[in-house]
Amino acid sequence: MNSSRHLATFVRNPASIFPIPAVLSNIPPSFSQLRPKHHYSRDIPADTPRVTLPDGSLFIHRKHPVEPITDFSQLPPALPSRWRKYDASVVLTGDQVAEMRRLRQSDPDTWTVGALSKKFGVPPPKVLALAPLPPGSERRTKVENERDRQFINSTFHRQVAILDRIRKKERW
């Protein structure tokens, strides 16, 4: 049983854990006491280094399942790459911002946040900040009604969590 999770294994000496009283010391030990107790020590290669500890336990040094990496260029990227890449240095002019707002106000179903972000090459949060939905638009009421329906159909604990989140946001 060679497990990669256990990098060190102990083989305990039962005599060091439970000392034998002097009265019983002349009794010959049974066969089971003569054999060392092995915990997780099956299928260990013979060339594995072993150290006997002061209490009689045997410490077995296990090899790592893989060699340690010295060159960090071999590692996979820490974070996945973004699906859509947006140029962070894009600065919209006043005319572009006005056009974005005009398109969003005229037809919010066609000119969604994603469509406007693709057209102008900016990330979606920037589109949301520059060109929000008009207050009385049909799409905004549809989104709010859907959010209300989801809240009503959710469980009690989920509703409490949603309300707590709203309260935290108001206090922040």
Digit-coded pLDDT (tens) for 10-45: 555 555 555 555 555 555 555 555 555 555 566 777
Number of domains in the chain: 3
Which structural domain, as residue segments, surrounds residue 115?
85-132
Predicted structure pTM score: 0.40
Do 154 and 168 have their domain in common? yes
**Given this model, what pLDDT does residue 76 score?**
76
CA atoms within a 13 Å half-sphere pointing along the CA-CB vector of 160: 3
**Given this model, what pLDDT does residue 150 score?**
93
Q: What is the C-alpha to C-alpha distance for residues 170 and 147, in angstroms, rounded to an integer?
A: 18
Low-confidence stretches of the chain (pLDDT beneath 70): 1-42, 83-84
Per-chain mean pLDDT for the chain: 77
Of 142, 143, 138, nearest in space to 105 by CA: 138
Please say whether the beta carbons of 132 and 124 come within 8 A: no
Do 123 and 140 have their domain in common? no
- The alpha helices in the chain, defined as continuous H runs, are 14-17, 31-34, 94-106, 113-120, 124-130, 138-153, 156-171
Do 118 and 141 have their domain in common? no
